[in-house]
Amino acid sequence: MSEQFHTVGVNLGADAGIDGGKNGGEGRGKDRSYAITIGRGLLVDSHLWSEIIGSRGVVLVTDDQVGPLYAERLQSALPTLDRFTHITLPAGEQQKSMASVQQILDAALADRHERQSLFLALGGGVVGDMTGFAASLFLRGAEFVQIPTTLLAQVDSSVGGKTGVNHPMGKNLIGAFHQPKRVIIDLDTLSTLGDREYAAGLAEVIKYGLIRDAAFFQWLVAQVSALQARDIPTLASAIERSCAIKAAVVMEDEQERGVRAHLNFGHTFGHAIERLQGYGEWLHGEAVAAGMVMAARLSVRRGNLESAVVDQLLSFQQQVGLPVKPPAGLTAADFLDAMASDKKVTAGKIRYILLNQLGEACVAEDVTLDDIAAVIDA
């Protein structure tokens, strides 16, 4: 029997889709709202999967780290299927490419899946992003379900419909907004998550407190020992609140024309670190953690944030094993060059997400080279 602790709704309404509803395209006037279900034993809950899948074909995508742990368990809970395809990709950020998406599409087409088939993304953020992107392209739009197995994916990338791949010129530069049909977060999968990957997820969790909920930030700081111990009730609450904040932002601004940009706090610097280091050298959450400290210090430098908040952030990140500064040797000029091709650049200006105060994010475009140098060397 599974235990369902929390359900978070993402209410988006109907959309005609990118082809205006012609040719059976994605959306077709259907309600695109979906539920995020958080619990234990969900991966092997056959009733849940029968409800989600029905009689449709399934394209299951995973990687060679997660697959051996969980793919067979999930398959055992799936209903009897007329058409089933299982694709295992190499793990790692380096695999987040058009070639991997092509591999997913080739397998689905070879097995004669139809638009009604359901893509299942079993893994971390890389698998989820690529599977969602492949689903958005398949026969002009198939549905997919996110089954995130890392903390970072559970609280961030699985929610909100951003899908895509990296490009040599930058991270996530090729992709589409394509909302999942459902998000299934099985807390049991965190038991096999490595310490680095787990800490990387906590970076995204505390981000939500910094940008949107000061009380949540203070609660996380107080619960750091329980979070380090992977206490299930504490984790369930932290994941639920993170997903609720992400859902609220997505419902307000689905395609990042305004407030959704606030979710990129730490990411402008973080993506630059990933690109400069080489994708996969630092985990995404590790780069974001260093980027958040830089953005928080910059907010203090501009007179908007109390330095005590930076001290609390440093303490939290150090206790859970996250970096608090960028890699040695990177200069302000390196950062500017890497950030110039970031997808968040607008009208040629780099948009930095900073803090007006704890729990309130803002956008700044007047950051100078001296500002960046100051927060690198702090």
- Give the residue numbers marked as catalytic: 140, 162, 204, 246, 256, 260, 264, 267, 271, 284
* 3-class DSSP state of 246: helix
355 in Cβ contact with 293 (< 8 Å) = no
H, E, C per residue of 45-91? CHHHHHHHHCCCCEEEEEECCCHHHHHHHHHHHCCCCCCEEEEEECC
* 8 A C-beta contact, residue 9 and residue 133: no
CA 76 to chain centre: 27
Start-to-end CA distance of the chain, whole Å, equals 51
What is the spatial distance between Cα 227 and Cα 159, in angstroms, rounded to a whole number? 21
For 345, the token pair is 């650049």
Comparing CA positions, the residue from 263, 255, 284 lying closest to residue 361 is 263
Q: Which helix H or strand E contains 356, and what residues bound it?
A: strand 352-357
Radius of gyration (Cα) for the chain, nearest Å?
20
The encoded tokens of residue 369 equal 């080279």
Looking at residue 78, its amino acid is L
Q: Which residues have CB under 8 Å from 107's CB, separation 6+?
A: 59, 85, 87
> In 149-281, at which residue ranges do the beta strands (DSSP E only) sit?
162-167, 170-177, 182-186
Strand partners, 353: 363
Maximum Cα–Cα distance across the chain = 62
Q: How far apart are CA 347 and CA 340, in angstroms?
A: 11
What are 178's strand-pairing partners? none
Query: Cβ distance 92 to 127 under 8 Å?
Result: no
